[in-house]
């Protein structure tokens, strides 16, 4: 499974493989999913698997984390 960065026209810009580890997305050079965009915080969100489910958690980012048009503030299960 991969995490994809999608641009405004819907095409994929980048992808990162989701193995058993969590991915931290953000601008920081140490982020496992680095997205050098001014709207991203250094450590913006974390995404991880728990069994068959994916979970995403906003890491107190300035602009928030959004999934399918809904803002994610706490741990959120993605189905």
Q: What is the mean pLDDT of the chain?
A: 85
Q: Could you give the CA distance from residue 25 to residue 70 in angstroms, rounded to a whole number? A: 18
Residue 7 lies in a domain: no
Residue 8 lies in a domain: no
Q: Could you give the CA distance from residue 65 to residue 75 in angstroms, rounded to a whole number? A: 11
Domain of residue 45: give its range: 22-78
Cα end-to-end distance, the chain, whole Å: 13
Q: CATH code at 34?
A: 2.60.200.20
Q: Could you give the CA distance from residue 32 to residue 22 in angstroms, rounded to a whole number? A: 9
**Quick one: average pLDDT of 58-71?**
87
Residue 13 lies in a domain: no
Residue 67 lies in a domain: yes
- Residue-wise pLDDT for 25-49, tens only, equals 999 999 999 988 888 999 999 998 8
Number of domains the chain is built from: 1
């Amino acid at each position: 499974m991969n995490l994809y960065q999608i641009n405004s026209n819907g095409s994929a810009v980048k992808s990162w493989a989701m193995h058993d580890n969590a991915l931290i997305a953000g601008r920081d050079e140490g982020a496992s999913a680095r997205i050098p965009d001014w709207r991203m915080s250094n450590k913006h969100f974390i995404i991880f698997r728990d069994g068959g489910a994916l979970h995403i958690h906003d890491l107190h980012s300035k602009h928030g984390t959004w999934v399918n048009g809904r803002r994610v503030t706490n741990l959120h299960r993605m189905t």
